[in-house]
Amino acid sequence: MTSRVEVFVQLKEGMLDPQGKTLEHALESLGYAGVDGVRVGKWITFEVQGEGREAIERQVDEMCGRLLANTVIERYTFTMREAGA
């Protein structure tokens, strides 16, 4: 089975995100009022082969915790679906 995985990585709530803050200012100065809480993150996609949804989920979770996100400063979520589905 091939699963299509999408991982989202963002700075944890409460961590200062200078990039997000800068974008927020820029949007404001472009005339978009009421914009708040801009955060910039990463979106990582890949396909993974394997059997058993739970086993794959465990594996992806491990990938995120070990490499794709730095859990000192970042949090992550991911979605999975069968490729081609």
Partner 1 sequence: MSPVPIGVVRFPGTNCDQDVFDAVAATAGAQPVWLWHKETGLRGVRGIVLAGGFSYGDYLRAGAIARFSPIMERVIAFAKSGGPVLGICNGFQILAEAGLLPGALMRNDRLTFVCRDQPLRVDSVRSPFTASFRPGEIVRFPIAHGEGNYVADDETLDRLETAGRVVFRYVDEDGRVTAAANPNGSARSIAGIASENGMVLGLMPHPDRAMSLLVGSEDGRGVFRGLMEAAA
Partner 2 sequence: MTVAMRDTPVTPDVVAAHGLRPDEYDRIVELLGREPNFTELGVFSLMWSEHCGYKYSRAWLSELPSRGPQVVQGPGENAGAVDVGDGLAVVFKMESHNHPSAVEPYQGAATGVGGILRDVFTMGARPIAMLDSLRFGNLDDPHVRYLFRHVVRGVGDYGNCVGVPTVGGEVVFDDSYAGNPLVNAMCVGLLRHEDLMRATAAGPGNPVYVLGASTGRDGIHGASKLASTELSEDSAESRPTVQIGDPFTEKLLLEATLELIASGAAVGVQDMGAAGLTSSSSEMAARGRTGIEIDVARVPRREPGMTPYEVLLSESQERMLVVARPDQETALMAIAEKWDLPCTRVGVVTPDQEWRILEDGDEVCRIPVAALVDEVPRYAREVDAPQYLAEVHARMPGPAAVAAIDPLAAIETLLSAPTIACKRWVWEQYDHTVQTHTMLGPGRADAALLLLPGTRSAIALATDGNGRYTYCDPRRGGALAVVEAARNVSCVGARPLAVTDCLNFGNPEKDAVYFQFVEAVRGIAEACRALDAPVVSGNVSFYNESPAGAIHPTPTIGMVGLLEDRDERPRGEAAGGDAVVLVGANGSHLGAGCLLSEVLGLVAGRAPDVDLEAERRHAEIVRSLIREGLASVAHDIGDGGLAVAAAEVCFGLPSGLGIALDLPAGDDSPHGALFGEDGARYLLVVPAVSLVEVRERLAATGAPWRQAGRVTDDGRIGFGAVGSRERNELQRLWEEAIETRMENLEDQR
43 or 51: whose CB is closer to partner 1? 43
With contacts defined by CB under 8 A, how many residues of the chain interact with partner 1? 13
Look at residue 55 and give the partner it binds from partner 2, partner 1, none, a contact being a CB closer than 5 to 8 Å depending on partner kind. none
| Residue 26 binds which of partner 2, partner 1, none (CB < 5-8 A, kind-dependent) | partner 2
What letter represents residue 32's amino acid?
Y
* Residue 33 interacting with partner 1 (CB under 8 A): no
18 makes contact, choosing from partner 1, partner 2, none, with CB < 5 to 8 Å by partner type, with partner 1
Residue 35 to residue 10: CA distance in whole angstroms: 18
Applying CB under 8 A, the residues found at the interface with partner 2 are 22-23, 25-26, 29-30
